[in-house]
Amino acid sequence: MHFLDQAKVFIKSGDGGPGAVSFRREKYVEYGGPDGGNGGKGGDIIFKAVAGLNTLIDFRYTQHFKAKRGTPGAGRDRTGAGGPDLVIQVPIGTQVLADDEDRSLLADLTKEGESFVFLRGGDGGRGNASYKTSTNRAPRQHGPGWPGEEMWVWLRLKLLADAGLVGLPNAGKSTFINAVSNAQAKVGAYAFTTLRPQLGVVSHKGNEFVVADIPGLIEGAADGAGVGDRFLGHIERCRVLLHLVDANDDDVATSYRIVRDELEAYGAELVDKQVIVALNKVDTLDDELIAALSAELAEESGHPVMALSGASGAGVEAVLDKLLEAIGMPEPGADADDSDEASSDWSPI
């Protein structure tokens, strides 16, 4: 399945049905009078967040959504049936944006089953029975029905995850998410192996949380270099960021700073999020070099540095413990003293 996180669609609610012009024609009623019913209301446009969807690819092939109009009124004061509502199913985390220069936010669907009426259908027109007065006993006018609303909107998907992985290309993010979750991200020894965000569900010590892996950032990503920074929107909702730095880079401090600068350039308060800094691929280094690189990275980042290897599994358990703590998911049965002891274990290597 192809991944698509934004799409432009046209939506239109249903028009109201016209009112009827009708008169009673009963055998023994000399003055029957008007009995035209009102038209039915047009269908609404409703957006609904549903589980099981993680892409907007369907909206690439179907871009126009129009609800049906109301049924016309009929004689014997019969009101027309309302047009059925058109429910547009979208993934959880979808935002509806106006088609203007600022792309202003109109709605944000963040919970399963959440729905709202986005465009209301037009009201039905009045039948001639409703125009009857003491001076107008046989009206022939009727209402044609009110038109529905229509507009172009943008749909933008921001995946919902508890933790987000950031780093340069080939920092080992895909290997890490494959090792700790049910994700099956592509792994390759070349830049930009990951071309679209990946979600994985991590089960650790009786808890489950979602990790998002986004394509790697390079210097100038905010200006469109590499795959750009358009996928950073998928980690805006994350509670914590896991920043992976490749231990084999020529300068681990520079590698860290490049990514942080791009996060700052993107905005959305990403640099203000809680971050865990980890030196990855340490299985290729000796303990002395690991300690030296960790100290260098800690000085640049201002955070304790954890050492791990997604390939061998070294240090992964400790990182998952820290992610649980940052997300706010304590271990089952753990008390405050246990949490304090766990916190004291986190120190630079």
Please write the tens of the pLDDT for every residue from 84-131: 999 999 999 999 999 988 889 999 999 999 999 999 999 999 999 999
Alpha-helix residue ranges (DSSP H) falling in the chain: 58-61, 173-180, 252-266, 287-301, 316-327, 336-344
Residue, of 147 and 232, whose pLDDT is higher: 147
Output the known binding site for Mg(2+): 174, 194
The position carrying tokens 């058109």 is 86
* Portions of the chain given CATH number 3.40.50.300: 163-344
Q: Are 6 and 99 in contact (CB under 8 A)?
A: no
Looking at the domain 1-157, which fold is it?
A: Spo0b-associated Gtp-binding Protein; Chain: A, (2.70.210)
Confidence at residue 256, expressed as pLDDT on a 0 to 100 scale: 94
pLDDT in tens, 211-261: 988 887 777 666 656 555 668 888 888 889 999 999 988 899 999 999 999
Distance CA 76, CA 326 (A): 67
Output the known binding site for GTP: 167-174, 192-196, 213-216, 280-283, 309-311
* Portions of the chain given CATH number 2.70.210.12: 1-157
Provide CATH code, domain 163-344: 3.40.50.300
Q: Are 69 and 31 in contact (CB under 8 A)?
A: no
Cα 109 off chain centre by: 7
Distance CA 200, CA 47 (A): 26
Output the known binding site: 167-174, 192-196, 213-216, 280-283, 309-311
State yes or no: pLDDT of 347 exceeds 60: no
The set of residues, in sequence order, having a beta carbon less than 8 Å from that of 278 and lying 6+ positions away, is 242, 243, 244, 245, 305, 306, 307, 308, 315, 319
What DSSP element (H or E) covers 200? strand 198-204
Residue, of 181 and 333, whose pLDDT is higher: 181
3-state DSSP assignment of residue 332 = coil
